[in-house]
Amino acid sequence: MSKYDASIDNILDIEINNIISVKKSLNRDTMEQVIDLMLQVKPSGHKVITAGCGTSGTLAERVAHSLCVVEVPATFCAPGNSVHGGLGLIQKGDVVVLFSKGGNTPEIVNYIPCCKAKGATIIGVSQNDDSILATQSDIYFKIFCEHECDMWDMCASASCNTIAAVWDAVAFTVMRHNGYTKDDLRLTHPGGKVGELLKQEK
């Protein structure tokens, strides 16, 4: 037994319960719409661009990587660079996924006019129905998290893991429906333990 067990168990319970709850609260029609859109990205010759600030930025990078793993071309566009020319990455037909729990983060709202002017599709990931991101996105992808892990229920933690889990469901559902094969995995994942295991199969 550890003197930290109560805290550890409480935090893990928060994480577990959020993911259980999100299964019930997700709008499955929106989820289907997002998956359909991801399935169209590569065949149409476009890409996915993700963005977020702080912990949401780290999450946005992870989502972009997961999409690349399943053959959906994606990249992270850092908010600090975006307003200094980085928005040139966004082109007509691209899908831009913006992450902001509160939905009004100024650095993230900055992407919206460029996306609209260029004809990129905006997916706004937030849980604030009245936010700028929710009301101005082409697709409002609400992912609700009841509690964070810190003592004041404020610091992005469980919410990011819940969002990551939902986007894993998006990415690996895409993998099951886009004709992805183990040869694709072998081609794009030659390194690390996965690459080692794949080489042993040949």
The reply to whether 184 falls in a domain is no
Q: Could you tell me which residues come within 8 angstroms of residue 187 by beta carbon, excluding any fewer than 6 positions away?
A: none
Q: Specify if 134 maps to a domain.
A: yes
Q: Measure the CA–CA gap between 161 and 136, rounded to whole angstroms.
A: 25
- 197 within a domain of the structure (yes/no): no
CB 113 within 8 A of CB 106: no
Does residue 149 sit within a domain?
Answer: yes
Q: Is position 194 within any domain?
A: no
pLDDT for the residue 189: 85
Rounded average pLDDT over 1-5: 90
Q: Is 115 helix (H, G, I), strand (E, B) or coil?
A: helix
In a domain, 185, yes or no: no
Does position 188 have pLDDT exceeding 90, yes or no? no
Is 201 within the bounds of a domain? no
| Model confidence, pTM | 0.95
How far is CA 194 from its chain centroid? 23
pLDDT tens digit sequence for 18-31: 999 999 999 999 99
Relative orientation angle of helices 5-25 and 158-177, to the nearest 10 degrees: 50
Buried b (16+ CB within 10 A) or exposed e, 5-21: eeeeeebeebbeebeee
Q: Closest by alpha carbon to 127, among 96, 160, 167, 151?
A: 160
Per-residue pLDDT reduced to its tens digit, 117-153: 999 999 999 999 999 999 999 999 999 999 999 999 9
Confidence of residue 85 (pLDDT cuts 50, 70, 90): very high
Q: What pLDDT score was predicted for residue 202?
A: 65
- Would you say 19 and 158 are in contact if contact means Cβ atoms under 8 Å apart? no
Q: What pLDDT does residue 199 have?
A: 80
Range of the domain at 59: 5-177
CATH number, domain containing residue 97? 3.40.50.10490
pLDDT higher than threshold 70 for residue 159: yes
Return the structure tokens found at 172. Answer: 């690996």
Order of strands across the sheet that contains 74-76 = 74-76, 48-52, 95-99, 121-126, 139-142
pLDDT over 70 percentage in the chain? 100
Cα 38 off chain centre by: 12
Q: Is residue 1 over pLDDT 80?
A: no
- Residue 141: inside a domain: yes
State pLDDT tens for residues 41-51: 999 999 999 99
pLDDT band with cut points at 50, 70 and 90 for residue 193: confident
